[in-house]
Structure 1
Amino acid sequence: MPTFAAADGTALAYRVLGAGIGDPVVCLPGGPMRAGAYLGDLGGLAAHRPLLALDLRGTGESAEPADPATYRCDRQVADVEALRAHLGADRLELLGHSAGASLAVKYAAAHPHRIGRLALITPSARSLALDPSPGERRLAVARRSAESWFPEVSLAYEAIANRHATSADWAAVAPLYYGRWDAAAKAHHATEAVQRNGKAARVYNSEGAFDPLRTRAGLAGVTAPVLVLAGALDWITPPGVASAVAALFPDAALEVQPGASHYPWVDDPAAFTATVAKFLA
C-alpha cells in the first residue's frame, strides 16, 4: 500500500480502488478508528470514481504514533492535510463515513478552500453537538419492531440508553446497523473486531476533541457542494439529525436511502452508488 508521512513523522497508509474517471475520492473511515478495509469499494462506487481509503493512524497498515494523544479526532485533521499535500491536490473530493465524517467536517471547517466536494455518509453528529437523544434513538429502534430479533435488541438498547450496557448488550444491537440482518450484513459485521483499534477509539472522541460552535462557524465558509446521505432506518444518525447537519452548510443536499441503516452501501449497493456517483459526477 502507498504511504506518506504525517507532520509528526507517523507513516500513514492508504489503498486506491477502482478505475473510474477523475481525481480520487479520499475516504475517511469511521468506527471510530476502524481500518479503511471495511469500506470495500463502497458498493461499486469505485467503478465510477477512484477511491482512496485512508487507514487512520494506528489502524490497518498505518503505523501507531509515538504520542497516543494524537488519536484524538481534532489532532488527525493535520493528517488529512498532509495527505492532500502528498497527493499534490489543490482541493480534495472528500467522503467521510460515521465517525470519519467528524474528521471530514473538522477538516472542512479548518480548510474550507481545500474542499472540492464533500460527501457525509450516515455521519456522526457528535462534533457538531447534534447527537440524537436517547428518545430519538428509541424511536429509530422501534421502527424495527417487526424483525424477529427485535425483543433481544430492544432490551439491549435500553441498557445502552440507561448507561449500564455490557459488552454483550453492544454485541446484541449489531442488527440495528444494517437494513437487513442477512448473510452479507453478518459477514461485514464480523470483520469489525480485527479492524478496530479499541485503544485509539477511546481517545478519538475524548474530551477536547470537539468545539461545536467553532466548527459550525467554519462550515459556513464551505462553499463547495455537500451531500449528506442518511439511512432511513439508521439509529446512530436518524434522518432528522442528518437534516440538521446538512442545514449547517451553504450548499448541501440531504438524501435518505430507503431501507438502509448505518452501512447503506451494504444494504443496497446499487441505490447507494447511484446517489453518490451522481453527486460526484
Structure 2
Amino acid sequence: MPQYRSHHYRSYDGTELHYRVLGPPDSGLPPLVCLAGGPARDAAYLGDLGGLDADRRLIVPDSRGTGDSPAAEDPAAYAFPRLAEDLEALRAHLGLERFALLAHSAAAATAQAYAAAHPDRLSRLVLVSPGSRLQGELPDDARQIFESRAHEEWWPDASVAVQRLAETGDLDEVRDLLHRAAPLAYGHWDEPQRAHAATEGGQLNPVPRAGFWQSVDDRARETLLTALRDVTCPVLVVTGDRDALSGMRAGELVAASFPHAQLRPLHLVGHYPWIDDPDRFRPLLDTFLRTGEAPLS
C-alpha cells in the first residue's frame, strides 16, 4: 500500500471529511486531486494510480460515507452535485486558486458537475473510464467487449455472476458475485488484477451508492451539459478497449461534451488502466498534467 498522510477538512455544512495526501511534500509540481468512483467505493482502490505520486502530490478525498469520512445525516448529500460542493470546500481548504482534477468511473459525474459550476477553478481535468449517464446515452459496447472475451477461461463463471447480480439484493451475495465477475473489468487476469479485485467487496458502501444519482432530473442534466461548453481548461478522457464496465463509446460522448477534450483509448486495457498498464498510463497523465497535451502513443 502507498504511504500517505491523513488530514481532515470542514465542508459547506460543517461536516469534517477526510482526505489523504500521497507523494513528496516538497514537490515543485502542482498537486492532483483524485476522486474515486464506484459510485461510493472507498478511495483506497485508487492506490497511487500506477506510481503517479512519484513526483507530485496526490490528494485523495473520501466522499461522504466512504473510507474515513462519516455518513451523511441527509441522504441527499450523497448526490453527485452535492459531492461537487464538498470538492469546492476541499479546494478552499487547500488554498488552491486553480487545480488539476482526476476522476475515475462514476466520479466523472461529480467532476463534470464541479467543472460546470466552477469552470475557472480547474487547470486540468482527467476523466478515466467514465460512464455517459449524464450525456443521456448508455452505449451497449461494454456488453460487446465482454462477449468478445468468451474464449477466456474465466468467462463462463463471470457471465453467470453478471446475470445473478441483476437479480439479488443480498449484500453478501453481491460481494461474492462481484468477485466472480471481476475479470470483465480488467484487460488481463493476472496477479496484479486479482489482488486489486480482491479488495472490492470490503470497499462497498450501499447507502451512499444508492444516493449518488438521486435528485438529478433531465432538466438539471441538460443545464449541466450546457455549462460544460464554458469549460476552457484542457480535458483528457482515457478509455480502455477491454473495459466491459464502461465501454469506450461512453468516453467519446463525454469528450464531446467539452470544447477542448482529448480522447486517448488504450489497447488491451480495462476499467482500471493504472493496474493493467501503469507504464503507459503514468507517462500519459504526467505529460498531460505538465503540458495540457496528451501524446498519441
Query: Could you tell me whether the CA contact under 8 Å between 1:21 and 1:50 is conserved in 2?
Result: no
Confirm whether residue 227 of structure 1 aligns to residue 236 of structure 2.
yes
State the Cα distance separating 1:249 from its structure 2 match. Answer: 0.8
1:255 paired residue number: 264
**1:86 maps to which residue?**
93
In structure 2, give the amino acid aligned to 1:208: V
Give, in angstroms, the shift of residue 89 of structure 1: 1.0
In structure 2, distance between residues paired with 1:32 and 1:123? 11
Of 249, 253, 258, which residue of structure 2 is paired with 1:244?
Answer: 253
In the aligned structure 2, how far is the partner of 1:157 from the partner of 1:37?
A: 24
Match of 2:133 among 115, 120, 126: 126
Q: Which amino acid aligns with 1:147?
A: E
- 1:193 is displaced (CA, Å) by 2.1
Whole-angstrom distance in 1 between the partners of 2:132 and 2:17: 26
Instruction: Give the structure-2-normalised TM-score.
Output: 0.87
Say if 2:213 is the partner of 1:213: no
- Structure 1: 5+ residue stretches without partners: none
Q: Does 1:76 align with 2:83?
A: yes
Amino acid at match of 2:138: D
Distance 1:4 1:47 in 2: 25
RMSD: 1.8
Aligned with residue 278 of structure 1, among 259, 267, 287: 287
- Give the structure 2 partner of residue 13 of structure 1: 18
2:181 maps to what in 1?
173
Work out the CA distance in 2 between the residues paired with 1:138 and 1:29. Answer: 23
The residue matched to 2:134 in structure 1 has which SS?
helix
Q: Does 1:4 align with 2:9?
A: yes
Distance 1:170 1:213 in 2: 33
Partners of 2:63 and 2:163 in 1: CA distance: 32
**3-state SS in 2 of match to 1:27:** strand
Alpha-carbon displacement from aligned partner over 1:134-174 (angstroms, at most 9, x marks no partner): xx2321112212311112223444556xx546736544321
Residue number among 115, 121, 146 corresponding to 1:141 in the alignment: 146
Deviation at 1:29, TM superposition (A): 0.5
Which residue of 201, 216, 227 maps to 2:209?
A: 201
Match of 1:29 among 11, 30, 36: 36
Find out whether 1:99 has 2:139 as its counterpart.
Answer: no
What is the alpha-carbon distance in structure 2 between the residues aligned to residue 189 and residue 247 of structure 1?
Answer: 31
Q: Which runs of 5+ in 2 are unaligned?
A: 1-5, 291-297
- Counterparts of 1:132 and 1:157, CA distance in 2: 17
Q: Deviations over 1:202-228 (max 9, x none)?
A: 111234377321121011000000000
> Amino acid of the residue matched to residue 120 of structure 1?
L
- Range 233-242 or range 112-121, more displaced: 233-242
- Kept in 1, the 8 Å contact 2:132–2:253? The answer is no
Deviates more, 1:203-212 or 1:271-280: 203-212
